[in-house]
Amino acid sequence: MAIVYGGDYNPEQWPRETWAEDMRLMREAGVNRVSVGIFSWALFEPEEGRYEFAWFDEVLDLLAANGIEACLATPTASPPPWFAATYPEAVMVDADGRQLTHGSRQGFDPSSDVYIAKALQIAEKIAERYADHPAVGLWHLHNEYGCHNTRSYTKAATAKFRTWLRDRYGDLDGLNAAWGTAFWSQAYSSWDQVYAPLPTPTIPNPGHVVDWKRFSSWQLVQNYRAEAAVIRKYSDKPMTTNFMTGSHPEIDLWEFSGAVDIVSTDHYLAGEDPQAHVNLGFAADYARSLGAGKPWILMEHSTSAVNWQGRNRAKAPREMLRNSLAHFARGADAIMFFQWRASKQGAEKWHSGMVPHAGTDSKIWREVCELGATLKSLAEVEGSRVQAETAILWDFPNAWAQEHEARPTNEFTAQGIFDAYYAALWRAGITADVAEPEGDLSKYKFVVVPAVYLLSRKGAENLRQFVNGGGTVLVTPYSGIADETDTVYLGGYPGAFRDVVGVRSEEFYPLIGGRVELASGGHGTIWSEAAEPAGAEVRDTYADGTPAWLVNRFGAGTAHYLTTFPDPDTLDRIVAAAAVDAGVAAVAEAPVGVEVVRRAHDDGRSWLFCINHTDADATVKAAGVLIDVPAGEVVVHREHA
């Protein structure tokens, strides 16, 4: 099998004479799959109920004739202008209560029955017509669910939210208990009194808001499932939708990933961040973890600049090659771009493409061709897996709960803390999976718990068993504080597992100065606690002797507990110590900024991907071999004979 290579293809933006050139260039670059139809609803159905597919027949025939597989999309992410004009109330309402309008994309309310009906109708038309077309290899449902319109505060959403709550809590007593409505006179006596959380005079009820976020995420998964059911009537081919694993935690991907046949994701670099490749690593590891380790599809990334960041840096020479191969290294078996040809008009015309504005006499095109050839040469890697003994926890309701405005400090977010700990693992060269707090942790030796404030009793028990059974955890402040209804565990923090970490904190002291020195010479940031050891050994302290880092032996395992957020250098020391306790190590010895990841088949064949993000030539030392990796280059080292 070949590695899949290609991108989004939007031929409708170009005259027919360009299509022929597209086919020639795709073959030149080694493209073997393109995603089509994503934004074509307005052309498929220019007026409600009137369809025009002939132009698209031609596109698919061309692809088939050129041996290029079509990843065929349902175009339901972007309803046509007639939709909003006919059903203005089926467009989303934002958190401010504003009825939004057509004019961009995602102009719909996910809870709207009229939207859902129209979406299923166009999906069915497409499935019916193209299920058996020879070009079609898989289905791309919708596009980036949850981008821009996850939370739509319409009347339709309020109605479905009530039903969802009724299913969750059974009766109003359950709802009132879960949300703690005894305070502030919020007790509900009828389901009709519950609304989407539109603006209020002051702080909203946190239980209300986090359940709204759970519902909104759930609604989109339902929408996917409904489309999938329609497609399945006509086709047995695999279905997927493109997640956005590098950020954007408005939709619960643990829930969503259960609904797709294969995980796909999109990833875009934060152009200004010199360490943006670390976030890329996370996005890739996360996509892999969502599919339980199976190879996944990089549905979109960019050849160079994007258009939606305040300052959109073009990629440096060879940066795209490093990016693409880093995804591949972390388990992607399909490397695709948005989009084939850079648009010359519209909202995304400043987003780079495989064929740039400048044409084929360009750095971008030359690298696109080189990447196609490289992937072809690495076909044997296809289907191999990435192994990880370490996991870092991520939970969506936890992140959502921490978005609430009234908490000890607003200086950090769950995602920010997660990213800092993921980055520490990346710097340590430790390959990690992303895991759910309630998921199976038995295959890991080391688990990082980054600001998992909201932790269910089941999740807490899961971690307790993990440590008791010999695992090592590294727990940051503000973890294990409240249960799944955002109810604080009483008696001292972290109430969910004081016994596991052997610590009891009375109060939180967000740092006013921003930074505090530790006895070891390291530094803490943002946070401190009035913590006392309750069994744990104190490993580091603040100037006044209050513990900053404690280590507890619990059952057969070890828990590291921090009472501050260390700065990166200090954190690196702590992660190293905890990794030693856990018995996990880096994939290879490599200089800072040189990424090394292993892919391996079950039969023992394996490859080391060495990616040099630095300006200096480097040498990687792994399993007794020395691998030279020139500055800015990627070396794929075959470890087997």
Sequence-separated (6 or more) residues with CB below 8 Å from residue 619: 591, 626, 627, 628, 629
Q: Which of 300, 367, 436, 484 is catalytic?
A: 300
Q: Which of 434, 321, 431, 325 shows the shortest CA–CA distance to 386?
A: 431
Cβ at position 555, least distance to a copy of itself in Å: 25
CA 512, CA 429: separation in Å to the nearest integer?
Answer: 33
Cβ at position 229, least distance to a copy of itself in Å: 23
Cβ at position 171, least distance to a copy of itself in Å: 14
At 217 the three-state DSSP class reads helix
Looking only at the bridges linking them, the beta strands covering 537-541 and 515-517 are: unpaired
357: tokens are: 């504005």
Told to judge if 144 belongs to the known catalytic residues of this protein, a careful annotator would answer: yes
Q: Which is nearer to a copy of itself, 544 or 602 (CB)?
A: 544
HEC profile of 454-486: ECCHHHHHHHHHHHHCCCEEEECCCCCCECCCC
Cβ at position 352, least distance to a copy of itself in Å: 8
Neighbours of 148 (CB within 10 A): 17
Q: Which is nearer to a copy of itself, 491 or 545 (CB)?
A: 491
Cβ at position 607, least distance to a copy of itself in Å: 32
Distance, CA of 186 to chain centre: 35
Q: Which is nearer to a copy of itself, 207 or 439 (CB)?
A: 207
Cβ at position 605, least distance to a copy of itself in Å: 39
Neighbours of 136 (CB within 10 A): 21
Q: Which is nearer to a copy of itself, 1 or 406 (CB)?
A: 406
Cβ at position 350, least distance to a copy of itself in Å: 5
Neighbours of 385 (CB within 10 A): 16
Q: Contact, 265 vs 296, CB < 8 A?
A: yes
Neighbours of 556 (CB within 10 A): 10
Say which residue the tokens 């449902």 belong to.
Answer: 141
Neighbours of 575 (CB within 10 A): 22
Cβ at position 445, least distance to a copy of itself in Å: 33
**Element (DSSP H or E) covering residue 264:** strand 264-266
Told to judge if 639 belongs to the known catalytic residues of this protein, a careful annotator would answer: no
Looking only at the bridges linking them, the beta strands covering 390-393 and 432-435 are: parallel
Q: Which is nearer to a copy of itself, 466 or 508 (CB)?
A: 508
The residue type of 97 is G
CA 463, CA 485: separation in Å to the nearest integer?
Answer: 19
Sign for the pseudo-dihedral over CA of 629, 585, 576, 447 = positive
Cβ at position 17, least distance to a copy of itself in Å: 14
580: tokens are: 């030693």
Q: Which is nearer to a copy of itself, 407 or 605 (CB)?
A: 407
Q: Which is nearer to a copy of itself, 315 or 330 (CB)?
A: 315
Q: Which is nearer to a copy of itself, 137 or 492 (CB)?
A: 492
Q: Is 376 left (phi over 0), alpha (psi -120 to 50) or beta?
A: alpha
Say which residue the tokens 């899961």 belong to.
Answer: 462
Looking only at the bridges linking them, the beta strands covering 136-140 and 239-240 are: parallel
Q: Which is nearer to a copy of itself, 530 or 585 (CB)?
A: 530
CA 420, CA 560: separation in Å to the nearest integer?
Answer: 17
Active-site positions read 144, 300
